[in-house]
Amino acid sequence: MNITGELLINGSSHMGKDGHFQAIEAATGKHLPGTFGGATVEDLAQATEAAWKAFPIYRETNLEKRAAFLEKIAELIAATGDELIARTMAETGLPKARLEGERMRTVNQLKMFAREVRSAHFIDRRDDPADLNRKPQPKPGLIFRNIGIGPVAVFGASNFPYAFSVAGGDTAAALAAGCPVIVKAHPAHPGTSEVIGRCVQQAVAACHMPAGTFALLQTTEPEIAQKLVADPHIRAVGFTGSRKGGLVFMDIAAKRKQPIPVYAEMSSINPVLLLPGALEERGSEIGTSFINSLCMGAGQFCTNPGLVLAINGKGYDAFLNSAREATKAAVPQTMLTPNIAKAYRDGVERLENNAKVTTIARGKPGSEFECQAALFEVSASDFIKDHRLEEEVFGSSSLIVKCNDKHDLIKVLEALEGQLTIAIHLTNSDNALANELMPLLEIMAGRLLINGFGTGVEVSPAMVHGGPFPSTSDGRTTSVGTAAIYRFLRPICYQDFSENILPSLLK
């Protein structure tokens, strides 16, 4: 493993000259070895021009070869060994087992898209043959297919250094769709990004793909990131991060001479509904499993259960007590970056200082780089009055909204913004209420789940990881699962083409 701090562009690498930065050890705030050079506007132009040049060749690659290319990336990532895990642990503060699992998930995701490519399903080819004898007009011969939308800018996410980063979901989906990818590495894990980026670059060479098919840019300058979104050669954007960051990109993309789609995953508090029967039957058990989910990975998941809507009644106190005890017992965990740890403390402080909010419990305290779990409670009426209570606090903090009855619950739901997930805890006696709520829940979220929590996003063809604004910028798509490939495709129709001028993939 060789971390040089270089940019990876058009099949080669060089040091960026627009300043330099070092990785930060999440657990200590200290610098880690290695200096990363920041990409200049020239580097950016070189990467997007190479991608543009690669695009017509890459999008027409034989599907078997394209699938083998994805598998080659998977193979090289799988072989990165313990050294990479150690580096990523240092950069992100995430534990070994989690990172090993996430790496395997990333490898499997690439393999899943390889299967999707081989299936040719996503091309959605449709043939309407000509009928020259049709009256009053002869019928033309039409062939429909989906093709890659163009070079895609992917922004690595801090919270998934493998699965939503350099070779994560958006990169795999875009490459599968036939689109070159330019990744802007997240500065929270630049060394990890370079190692994975080199795997992709090596696979490009080994599989004889055009050199411009992939590039990795390192930078800490927001301006470079914004210029990437504005670049005319970029035709779509994949982003996971803050609402503020996502909105900036959406705005830039909409104001381009040619607007482009932005797939930004931004902000979701993933409501958990506790229906009366479930609370009565197993309130205490739900309290424990809720806090387990909340504290997993220091709560740094997009699908973290940041809001609980519970109807007061039998079992509510049991739920609250067990959640309180589990929170108190929660051990501190290193957060992804010192900035995230600070934002978490600030968010928790805002809730603690809100006169309408009761602090139910705090977890065990830790260092300034660690997440101390936090559990709050507020009444439904106070929640509805104060929109700030709906703001995501990224980390192991959750707010229980105590509802008097189902009418309260519905009012709270109607006041909420779009979500990635909504979980419903129920038992048989709650089915009527669940059925009553379902039409409302369906239009609020991309995934509804029963008796579980949104954390743990299965990578499979039926997954939807997306949802109405502001959980994502575009609720018509998913970022996880095979359907993610449709983000990076557009339809085109060929009319009256003879065999010898049809694109090679249609021959």
**366-395 positions binding a copy of itself, by CB under 8 A:** none
Read off the DSSP letter of residue 357: P
Q: What are phi and psi of 226, to 5 degrees?
A: -70, -40
Among candidate residues 506, 477, 476, the one with its CA nearest the CA of residue 493: 506
Residue closer to a copy of itself, measured from CB, 78 or 449: 449
Could you say which of 265, 370, 377, 392 is catalytic? 265
Q: Which of 144, 324, 362, 381 binds a copy of itself (CB under 8 A)?
A: 144
What is the phi-psi region of residue 120: left when phi exceeds 0, alpha when psi lies from -120 to 50, beta otherwise?
A: left
Q: Quick one: which segment of 38-46, 72-80, 185-193, 499-507 binds a copy of itself (CB under 8 A)? A: 499-507
| Cβ proximity of 101 and 111 under 8 Å | no
143 binds a copy of itself (CB under 8 A): yes
- The answer to whether residue 481 forms part of the interface with a copy of itself (CB under 8 A) is yes
Q: How far apart are CA 360 and CA 377, in angstroms?
A: 7
Task: Quote the CA–CA distance of 18 and 49 in Å, as a whole number.
Answer: 19
CA 19/CA 400 separation, integer angstroms: 45
Q: Which of residues 395-414 bind a copy of itself (CB under 8 A)?
A: none
Map tokens 């995934």 to a residue. Answer: 447
Give the shortest CB-221-to-a copy of itself separation in angstroms: 26
Tell me if 268 contacts a copy of itself by CB under 8 A: no
> Does residue 265 have an active-site annotation?
yes
Q: Judged by CB under 8 A, does residue 24 bind a copy of itself?
A: no
Please list every residue from 460 through 479 that binds a copy of itself, using CB under 8 A: 460-464, 466, 468-470, 473-478
Three-state SS at 14: strand
Question: 28-87: which residues touch a copy of itself (CB under 8 A)?
Answer: 55-56, 60
Smallest distance, Å, CB 18 to a copy of itself? 30
β-partners of residue 183 are: 154, 216
For a copy of itself, the binding residues in 322-341 under the rule CB under 8 A are: none
Q: Is 116 left (phi over 0), alpha (psi -120 to 50) or beta?
A: alpha
Catalytic residue (choose from 199, 302, 371, 403): 302
Q: How far is the CB of 348 from a copy of itself (least distance, A)?
A: 27
Peptide bond into 136 cis (omega under 30): yes
Strand partners, 311: 403
Which of 149, 179, 326, 401 touches a copy of itself (CB under 8 A)? 149
**What does the DSSP 8-state code read for residue 28?**
T
* Minimum CB distance to a copy of itself, residue 453 (Å): 10
Binding status of residue 309 toward a copy of itself by CB under 8 A: no
First-residue to last-residue Cα distance in the chain:
43
Rule CB under 8 A: choose which of 8, 117, 291, 483 binds a copy of itself.
Answer: 483
Select 28 or 226, whichever has its Cβ closest to a copy of itself.
226
Assess whether 414 carries a catalytic annotation.
no
β pairing state of 20-24 and 31-37: antiparallel
Near a copy of itself by CB under 8 A: residue from 11, 95, 140, 313? 140
- Footprint of a copy of itself on residues 203-262 (CB under 8 A)? 250, 254, 258-259, 261
Cβ closest to a copy of itself, residue 359 vs residue 431: 431
Q: Is 489 in the site for a copy of itself (CB under 8 A)?
A: yes
Site for a copy of itself in 87-106 (CB under 8 A): 101
Number of other residues whose CB lies within 10 A of the CB of residue 164: 28
Separation CA 271–CA 409 (nearest Å): 11
> Which string of x and - marks every residue 423-462 that binds a copy of itself (by CB under 8 A)?
---x----x--xx--xxx-xx-xxxxxxxx---x-x-xxx
CA-based nearest residue to 203, from 404, 300, 58: 58
Name the minimum Å distance from CB 499 to a copy of itself.
10
Q: Which residue bears the tokens 């739920």?
A: 319
Tokens of 166: 């350099």
Q: Least Å distance between CB 218 and a copy of itself? A: 29
Tokens read off for 6? 């270089």
- Known catalytic residues are 265, 302
